[in-house]
Amino acid sequence: MSADGPGDPLAVPYRTGTPRAVVLVHAAAGALACLALGHTLWRGLSDPGIALAFGALIAVGELARGGSAPPARGGAGTLPGDRESAPLGVAGALAYALLGEVGGRATSHGVLQAVAVVVAAGLVGLVPHVALGRGPALDHIARRVLTVGFAATCFQPLYTTGRLAAWIGNGSYYICYLLGLLALTALCDAVLAAALARARTGWPYGPLLRDELRSLLGIGSAICATGLVIALATAVAGLWALPVFCLPLLLTQLSFRRYAAVRATYRQTIASLARATEIAGYTPQGHARRVAVLSRAVGRELGLGEADLSVLEYAALMHDIGQLSLVDPVTGGATAGLPPAEQRRIALLGGAVVRRTGVPAEVAMIVERQADPFRDQPLPARIVRTVNAYDDLAGGDGGPGGTLRALERLRLSTAQDFEPRVVEALARVLARPFGAL
């Protein structure tokens, strides 16, 4: 929320340096890509027209990708499309991997050519993004190379040798096989994505995988279905199917982008509203933002999923809104020192404001209950209460001494005010190096 204008105000910096798991995934994907490209250059393209059409589709999908670098994880990401910023590109890549024939005529591109086309088209689509100074999002490309390689390996050899047709024929069972294969591919991709995120951020693996799987239900299933439909329709109707079916998908992608844009401005507005108390002098500079970032980290430490985390974040941002209706500011903005009845009154006033903002009702509920004894509170309210008190006690910049003293004070009040579990999670989060929040 500092001076960097309309950017994501709550983004969390990444851990510096590259963890071993990431290096491993990148190396595997790089090796596969090099092998595929080398093999294709050596042997020449088979069916160049088809390869070109699908390559163009993937490149267009990549070009239409939204502006933000894909792993925007510091922020609230209930949007299932956060995970995949170029659905059209992914669907095209999957379709090419699962393409057995075009207009009734069998194709002859193998596994390696499929990977090579996906890599080449992806690189072409990347050029403008790199030119504009956005990161190349290597994690996404690595994941895509590996998943496409996996899907093509499970399909192409079986199909071209005719064994698939001999086993299950060309009707409904064939569709079922493809669906099962796609489900498996998506599952592997989710596991891989969660592992990468875990390695990069150090967050617990379970909730990350759960979020990936949940996003699979939304945009993930649509991408897989689209890839499959493109492959089947091309097999039946020839390359004509590509533009016809890609138009609806392109529209989906555009509406996803609009959705993401309006979501981003929504977050900016909430953050501005939260900052109002700081500008009014009720709370110290940066208090709302610090509480939001720390609450998110503590919530993640306690295993909350992405949807709960975004509710928690909104509540943490707006927890002091109630102070706006006070005629005189509380000294230092620290509500933690007020008598409980007064704290509760401010919390109720804040809830009344939050209820009008259009955020989920849970947020207002958390804001209202933030001053209750922890046994009466839902978990997010306990987190907000603890982190808020910590920030008040540690006095913003903290420093090692302030941090320890504040934690000690919190631990002394775990009988009634703060839940011990939350305080310990906070201590664990604070013990980490800064970037790992």
Partner 1 sequence: MRQLSVAAYAYIGCAVLAAVGCAVPAALPSASTPWPTVGLLAVLYAACERMRSCPLSRALARGARSGGAPGHAEGMPPRWGCPVLLAGVFLLPPAAAALAVLPGALLSRTEERAATARRVWHAAELALAARAAAEVFGAGGSRAVLAPEFPYALLPAAAATTVFCAVLAALDGGVLIAAERHPPRTAWRGLLLRSLAPHLVHGLAGLMMAVLWRSSYGPPAALLVLLPMYISCWVFAQYHRERAAHQATIRALVQAVDLKDRYTRGHSERVGRASVMIARELGMAEDRLDVIRFAGILHDVGKLGVPTRLLRKDGPLTPEERRVIELHPEYGHEIVRGIGFLGEARAAILHHHERMDGTGYPYGLRGREIPESARVVAVADAFDAMTSTRSYRRARPVAAAVTELRRSAGAQLDPRMVRALVAALARHGWQPEVVTAGTEGPAVPPPRPALHRHPAPEAGPVPGTAALPGTATAPHPGPAGGER
Q: What residues from 39 to 78 belong to the interface with partner 1 (CB under 8 A)?
A: 76, 78
- Which DSSP helix (H) or strand (E) runs through 216? none
Q: Which is nearer to partner 1, 270 or 389 (CB)?
A: 270
Which positions from 179 through 198 interact with partner 1, judged by CB under 8 A? none
Q: Which is nearer to partner 1, 160 or 357 (CB)?
A: 357
Tell me: does residue 165 bind partner 1 (CB under 8 A). Answer: no
Q: How far apart are CA 14 and CA 429, in angstroms?
A: 15
Tell me: does residue 329 bind partner 1 (CB under 8 A). Answer: yes
Segment near partner 1 (CB under 8 A); pick from 31-39, 152-160, 190-198, 349-357? 349-357
Number of residues that bind partner 1 (CB under 8 A): 83
Q: How far apart are CA 129 and CA 175, in angstroms?
A: 36
- Distance in Å, CB of 351 to partner 1, minimum: 12
Nearest one of 153, 156, 146 to 118, comparing CA atoms: 146
Burial class (CB in 10 A: 0-12, 13-18, 19+), 302: buried
- Distance in Å, CB of 104 to partner 1, minimum: 7
Q: Which is nearer to partner 1, 195 or 231 (CB)?
A: 231
265 token code pair: 């401005």
Q: How far apart are CA 301 and CA 296, in angstroms?
A: 8
Q: How far apart are CA 233 and CA 99, in angstroms?
A: 10
Distances (CA, A) of 237 to 43, 104, 160, 218, 422: 28, 8, 19, 28, 59
- Check residue 15 and report its DSSP letter: P
Nearest one of 154, 84, 89 to 121, comparing CA atoms: 89
Q: Which residue in 23, 272, 378, 412 binds partner 1 (CB under 8 A)? A: 272
Segment near partner 1 (CB under 8 A); pick from 136-144, 271-279, 338-346, 403-411? 271-279
- Distance in Å, CB of 373 to partner 1, minimum: 26
- Distance in Å, CB of 88 to partner 1, minimum: 11
Tell me: does residue 18 bind partner 1 (CB under 8 A). Answer: no
Q: How far apart are CA 201 and CA 421, in angstroms?
A: 22
Q: Which is nearer to partner 1, 142 or 292 (CB)?
A: 292
- Distance in Å, CB of 184 to partner 1, minimum: 17
What are the backbone dihedrals phi and psi of residue 370, each rounded to the nearest 5 degrees, phi first?
Answer: -65, -20
Tell me: does residue 30 bind partner 1 (CB under 8 A). Answer: no
Q: How far apart are CA 230 and CA 235, in angstroms?
A: 8
Query: Can you give the length of the chain in residues?
Result: 437
Tell me: does residue 358 bind partner 1 (CB under 8 A). Answer: yes
Residues 6 or more apart in contact with residue 193 via CB below 8 angstroms: 83, 139, 143, 212
Tell me: does residue 106 bind partner 1 (CB under 8 A). Answer: no
How many other C-beta atoms lie within 10 A of the C-beta of residue 367? 32
Tell me: does residue 285 bind partner 1 (CB under 8 A). Answer: no
Q: Which is nearer to partner 1, 82 or 417 (CB)?
A: 82
Q: Which residue in 61, 71, 74, 80 binds partner 1 (CB under 8 A)? A: 80
- Distance in Å, CB of 226 to partner 1, minimum: 5
- What's CA 407's distance to the chain center, in Å? 31
Q: Which is nearer to partner 1, 40 or 370 (CB)?
A: 370
Residue 101's DSSP bridge partners are: 106
Burial class (CB in 10 A: 0-12, 13-18, 19+), 213: middle
Which positions from 118 through 157 interact with partner 1, judged by CB under 8 A? none
Tell me: does residue 276 bind partner 1 (CB under 8 A). Answer: yes
Q: Which is nearer to partner 1, 328 or 397 (CB)?
A: 328
Q: What share of the chain is helix, strand, coil (3-state, %, to 5)?
A: 75, 0, 25
Distances (CA, A) of 422 to 41, 76, 384: 57, 21, 10
Tell me: does residue 280 bind partner 1 (CB under 8 A). Answer: yes
Tell me: does residue 365 bind partner 1 (CB under 8 A). Answer: no
Tell me: does residue 108 bind partner 1 (CB under 8 A). Answer: no
Q: Which residue in 25, 219, 298, 365 binds partner 1 (CB under 8 A)? A: 219
Tell me: does residue 420 bind partner 1 (CB under 8 A). Answer: no
Q: Which residue in 16, 172, 331, 416 binds partner 1 (CB under 8 A)? A: 172
376 token code pair: 């009466």
Segment near partner 1 (CB under 8 A); pick from 143-151, 264-272, 293-301, 423-431? 264-272
